[in-house]
Amino acid sequence: MRSTGYVIQQMVNASLVGALYSLLAVAYALLHGITNRIVLSFGDIATFGAFSTIYMMLLMLASNWQVGLAIGMVFVIAVVSTAAFSAMLQKHVFSPLVRSPTQAIMIASIGVSIALQEGLRVKSSGREQWLSPIFASSVVNVDFDGFTLHVTGMQLLILAIAATLLSGLTLVLTRSQAGRLWRACSQNIALAQLCGIDTSRVLTWTGATAGAFAAVSGWIIAVGYGGVSFYMGLVLGLKALFATIIGGFGTIGGAIVGGFLLAAIETLWSAYFPIVYRDVAVFSIVILIFIIKPDGLLSVDLRRDSEV
């Protein structure tokens, strides 16, 4: 039987992974909520944000920037640049295909992912990029039943940022004018346009917001775990996509719940069972959830028009 401290430590670890998955799952849910199409690029968009973080962080540290200030500046640069890149993709690649009854958007997003992967591969010469640990000293160091619980300053920073962004987005979508416009377009984009809503503008800022959330997940990978690779977007994106589907596609709350649930399953399996079978176990549990609840745990009863 594991000690109480070990269990709490795994809960902390699961929360960090859940923050990463939930932020990226929200990116999928935001765009799918309007287009009713799956955009598979967000894993690689997050990788773009992670590479931006590492390159800018190394540049600033080499220029003798104070570490805390450098982290803040890099966060802003990574989020803004990735959001602008995502908005450009939305406006010039995905928006022209929104009314297509086929899966043209999904196919286009695969092309975007391949282009991003190749660009990052060339930039990194095919090598993984590493960043030295930042704020890695323990700020919480407590003994529980013979096991010492460690929580670093960076872990607390990541959890605080994720909680702020996820709760802030929920409030924006439920209580602001922008949120009302997004909800109107998510119910029926054609009818929303007939009501006078500038759907192109809504799609563009939705793409930018989704890109920003993907960038934050990439920032977490870079500063929280230290290593990034040009090919990591595929697996990362698929796991976030599964998290979105688990919670209920097109629902922000479902994406958040799905991200933390998937992270909890992964972390607890790694903590108590052989790690070599982790992915098999995780995907088996995901399949079981789909069988029991095909529409997701927090699916809505509102039936949306599939032809947008």
Res. 126: pLDDT tops 80: yes
CB atoms within 10 A of CB 294: 9
Q: Identify the pLDDT of residue 255.
A: 92
pLDDT tens for 33-54 read 888 888 899 999 999 999 999 9
Q: Identify the pLDDT of residue 299.
A: 67
Contact indicator for 74, 60 with CB cutoff of 8 Å: yes
Res. 27: pLDDT tops 90: yes
Q: Identify the pLDDT of residue 1.
A: 55
Q: Is residue 300 part of a domain?
A: no
Q: Is residue 307 part of a domain?
A: no
Q: Is residue 305 part of a domain?
A: no
40 DSSP assignment: T
pLDDT tens for 197-244 read 999 999 999 999 999 999 999 999 999 998 899 999 998 998 899 899
d(CA 241, CA 38): 9
Q: Which domain holds residue 272?
A: 4-292
HSE-CB of 151 using CA atoms within 13 angstroms: 20
Contact indicator for 20, 243 with CB cutoff of 8 Å: no
Q: Identify the pLDDT of residue 306.
A: 43
Q: Identify the pLDDT of residue 23.
A: 96
Q: Is residue 94 part of a domain?
A: yes
Q: Identify the pLDDT of residue 307.
A: 43
Q: Identify the pLDDT of residue 33.
A: 87
Q: Identify the pLDDT of residue 303.
A: 42
**Is the four-CA dihedral 298, 300, 304, 308 of positive or negative sign?**
negative
- Among the listed residues 35, 13, 77, the one whose alpha carbon sits nearest the alpha carbon of residue 225: 13
Specify the range with the lowest mean pLDDT, choosing from 109-118, 129-138, 210-219. 129-138
Q: Identify the pLDDT of residue 301.
A: 53
d(CA 245, CA 237): 12
d(CA 104, CA 302): 25
**The two three-digit tokens of residue 26, written as one number:** 């929200």
Res. 308: pLDDT tops 70: no
For 246-262, give the secondary structure using H, E and C.
HHCCCCHHHHHHHHHHH
Residues 273-296, mean pLDDT to the nearest whole number? 85
Contact indicator for 22, 292 with CB cutoff of 8 Å: no
Q: Identify the pLDDT of residue 145.
A: 75
CATH number at residue 11: 1.10.3470
d(CA 77, CA 302): 38
Q: Identify the pLDDT of residue 164.
A: 97
The backbone torsions φ and ψ at residue 289, rounded to the nearest 5 degrees and listed phi first, read -65, -40
Specify the pTM: 0.92
Residue 39: strand, helix, or coil: coil
**The two three-digit tokens of residue 266, written as one number:** 């992964």
- Among the listed residues 227, 237, 3, 169, the one whose alpha carbon sits nearest the alpha carbon of residue 11: 3
Q: Identify the pLDDT of residue 287.
A: 87
Res. 16: pLDDT tops 90: yes
Q: Is residue 210 part of a domain?
A: yes
Q: Identify the pLDDT of residue 60.
A: 92
Q: Identify the pLDDT of residue 245.
A: 87
pLDDT tens for 71-106 read 999 999 999 999 999 999 999 999 888 877 778 899
What single letter denotes the amino acid at residue 39? V
111 DSSP assignment: H
Name the domain count of the chain.
1
